[in-house]
Amino acid sequence: MRIKASYLISPQSTTTFEGKIEAVSYRNNLLKVIEPNWKNYIPRNQLRRMGKAVRLGTGAGLKLIEKDNEFKNSDAIIITSANGGLEDCIKFLKQMVTYGDGALTPTNFVQSTPNAISGNIAMATENHCYNITHVNSSFSFIDGLRDASLLFYENSKAKILLGSIDEISDFNYRINELRGHYKKEKIDSLQLLESTTKGTICGESAAFFGVVDEGDDLVKVVGFDTLISSDLAAIKAFVSQFLEDNNLASTDIDGVMLGYNGNLIKDAIYNELTNTYFKNANRFSFKDLFGEHPSVISAGFWYAYQLIKGMPPLNKPLNYNGNKLKNILIFNQYNGEENSLILLS
Predicted confidence at residue 175, as pLDDT, reads: 82
Domains 2-212 and 219-344 fall in the same CATH topology: yes
The CA angle 308-314-316, to the nearest 5 degrees, is 105
Give me the mean pLDDT over the 288-311 stretch.
96
Tell me if the domain spanning 2-212 has CATH number 1.10.760.10: no
Q: Are strands 202-203 and 30-31 parallel, antiparallel or unpaired?
A: parallel
What's the pLDDT tens digit per position in 2-40? 999 999 999 999 998 887 888 999 999 999 999 998 888
Residue closest to 290 by CA, chosen among 180, 190, 142, 217: 190
Could you tell me if 273 and 239 are in contact, meaning their C-beta atoms sit under 8 angstroms apart?
yes
Residue closest to 250 by CA, chosen among 241, 258, 262: 241
The CA angle 7-10-14, to the nearest 5 degrees, is 50
What's the pLDDT tens digit per position in 157-208? 999 999 999 998 887 788 888 888 899 999 999 999 999 899 999 999 999 9
- Report the run of H or E that residue 334 belongs to, with start and end: strand 328-334
Task: Band the pLDDT of 111: cuts 50, 70, 90.
Answer: low
Task: Band the pLDDT of 102: cuts 50, 70, 90.
Answer: confident
Q: Where do the structural domains in the chain lie, given as residue ranges?
A: 2-212, 219-344
Average pLDDT, the chain: 91
For the chain, the 3-state helix, strand and coil shares in percent, each to the nearest 5, are 40, 20, 40
The CATH superfamily assigned to 219-344 is Thiolase/Chalcone synthase (3.40.47.10)
Counting Cβ atoms within 10 Å, is residue 149 exposed (0-12), middle (13-18) or buried (19+)? middle
